[in-house]
Structures are given as structure tokens and as C-alpha cells.
Amino acid sequence: MKKVTLSMLVMLLGLTLLSACGSENAKNDGNKAASAGGEEKIYIPIISKGFQHQFWQAVKSGAEQAAKEFDVEITFEGPETESQVDKQIEMLQAALDKKPSAIGFAALDSKASIPLLQKAKDGGIPVIAFDSGVDSDIPVATASTDNLAAAALAADKMAELIGGEGEVGVIVHDQTSVTGVHRRDGFVNRIKEKYPNIKIVDIQYGGGDHLKSTDLAKAIIQAHPNLKGFFGANEGSAIGVINAVTELKKEGQITIIGFDSGKQQMDAIKSGKMAGAITQNPVGIGYETVKAAVQAIRGEKLQSTIDTGFYWYDKTNIDSDQIKAVLYE
């Protein structure tokens, strides 16, 4: 009897130990699953056209605001200059290799990026274009300024300020991105359509680099001594024009209109060197890009174009609450 009882006790003890181990293993597996679930977070890489301008830092700020609000993880990067198309393509490839939930992309070259964006689409990764669109229907939405309309407003302001006649020069950041093409065409076409007595004598492309834009602007001014106006189509272009006019001692003789914001343009407007500029809503562009990406991941319907707005600002309204909210230093 004792032997039977002892055997039974041993068996019961063994079963108890096995049960305990099973429970502990199940508990550990549950912890691992919970841990894995906790680590899983929507990841959205945002690839901009550059980092050298304050505009992109403002876009980054807006993207970070949205990331916090929607509880997603983002990265924000761009090449050192807006002429480095190859480097941006490398960044896009690296982002896709991480298999993100969606991607935000501002194309330096609206055609060069299409093969990789097609790869994203084929992989079920929604693409949100921002600032600069793509010559394709691959992006499910584009968050940007209506650059044609914005540049047309700059042309109207130029015509008003130079009395509807005279010679005008233009410096644009590039002729490969949608923003570059639309800002050039918006300005040029409005002048041709509405102001027959204004002649655009030259259009040059400075890559958004203020030093290169300075040299180009100086060459235009020297070649056209009767120049009355100059349009700089982004921050770097506009700063280049300001520098050229200052170095050639043409302040007060040439009306300068810029695009975007930044401390140097704002200071130039306050001092009278620049007549005014068009500002976008860069914080809004960044915010809407991430918001649209989250909506796309959730399968929500999106508008193909998300208009983030633009404003004219000059010495008369630069300190108003409405304008201060969309300027960046």
C-alpha cells in the first residue's frame, strides 16, 4: 500500500510540475506577443527635396506634429542640396527597403522617381506626394500649394509694382520638379496673358542654391541695365536675387518679389530691399502629408489633391497674426 501511495505521489508531483511549466511557457509566449504588439508601430518615412532651407525644417515640424497626434513613427530626410536627384533616389530606395506602412515623397525629378514609386505601389505601400508632385497617378494624394496660382499672384503683384511695363528677370530653382515648372509657368504665363508691355528677358535655374542664384542674377542684371523687376521662385533663388541687387548697388531700382519665407527674405521685406513674397504653409504641408498617409493606411478615401494654401506678404502685413502663422525663420 505504501508503495502504491508513493508511486501515486510521484506521478502527481510530475503532473504538477508539467502543468506549471506549461503555464509559465504560455505566460512567456503571451508576454512576447504583447511585447511584439507593443513594438509594432506604423512607420512612415518622409523624403523631402532638401534640408538647406528653413522651409523644409518647417515642413518637418508639421510632419512631427501629425506623427505625435496620430501615434505613428516617422523619419524625415532629404539631400544636402536640391540638385542631388541621385542621392534622393538612393534615400527613396533605402526607405522602401525598410518596408514602411506608407511613404511621403517630394520629388526633385518628377520622372526619375517613377520606377521606385511603382515598386512601392506594387508592394502595397501608399505614396503621398508633397510639395512637388510626380508625373504619374501612383501617389494616392498630393499635399501641396497650388503653385500655378501662387506664381500668377506674384506676377500680378510685379505688374502692379512696376507700373505694368518694363523688363523682368526670373530665377527658378529647377526645371525638373513640378514646383519649379509650375512656379515658372504660373509667373510667365500670367505676364504673357495680361501684361503685354512687360517683357521677361531671361529665365535661369539656380538649383535653389543662393550662391549660384546670386551669380546668375548678377549676370542678368548686367546684361539688361534697364531691368525693372526680378522674381525669385523659391527661398534660395530669392536670396540670390537680393544679394545680386545689393552687390551691384541697384537697391530701389529693381523690384524684387520672392517665394517662400526665411529670415533673409523677411529682413529684406522689412528693410525695403524686397517688395514682397508668396509664402506657402509649410507646417500644414508636413502635417497633411502624414495625416493623408495614415488615412491611406486605414483604407480611407482621400482627395487626390490637398491644397495647403498660400499668401502674399509684404511690409504692410508681415506682422499680422495670419501671416506670422505661416512664416518661418
- Which pLDDT tens digit goes with each residue over 241-262? 999 999 999 999 999 999 999 9
pLDDT value of position 10 = 40
Cell 520638379 belongs to residue: 177
Q: Candidates 3.40.50.2300, 1.20.81.30, 3.30.1050.10, 3.40.50.1860; correct CATH number of 43-145+282-309?
A: 3.40.50.2300
pLDDT value of position 53 = 80
Q: What's the mean per-residue pLDDT of the chain?
A: 89
Q: Candidates 3.30.365.10, 3.40.50.720, 3.40.50.2300, 1.10.1740.10; correct CATH number of 147-279?
A: 3.40.50.2300
Predicted confidence band at 110 (pLDDT cuts at 50, 70, 90)? confident
Contact 163, 325 (CB under 8 A): no
pLDDT value of position 54 = 84
More confident residue, 4 or 60: 60
Contact 91, 79 (CB under 8 A): yes
pLDDT tens track for 131-140:
987 888 999 9
pLDDT value of position 284 = 94
pLDDT value of position 135 = 81
- Name the strand (E) or helix (H) holding 303: none
- Name the strand (E) or helix (H) holding 196: none
DSSP for residue 272: T
CA atoms within 13 A on the CB side of 263: 3
Identical fold between 43-145+282-309 and 147-279: yes
pTM, to two decimals: 0.80
pLDDT tens track for 73-90:
999 999 998 889 999 999
Domain residue extents for the chain: 43-145+282-309, 147-279
- Crossing angle for the helix pair 235-247 and 210-223, to the nearest 10 degrees: 50
- The percent of residues in the chain predicted with pLDDT above 90, rounded, is 81
pLDDT value of position 29 = 36
- In this predicted structure, the answer to whether residue 3 has a pLDDT above a threshold of 60 is no
pLDDT tens track for 172-190:
999 999 999 999 999 999 9
Closest CA to 45 of 77, 81, 21, 79: 77
- Crossing angle for the helix pair 263-271 and 235-247, to the nearest 10 degrees: 40
- In this predicted structure, the answer to whether residue 24 has a pLDDT above a threshold of 80 is no
- In this predicted structure, the answer to whether residue 228 has a pLDDT above a threshold of 60 is yes
Mean pLDDT computed over 308-325 = 95
Q: Which three cell numbers stand for residue 275?
A: 517688395
* 3-state SS, residue 235: helix
* 3-state SS, residue 297: helix
> Rounded to whole angstroms, what are the CA distances from 323 to 195, 257, 282, 302, 328?
28, 17, 12, 28, 10
Cell 521677361 belongs to residue: 200
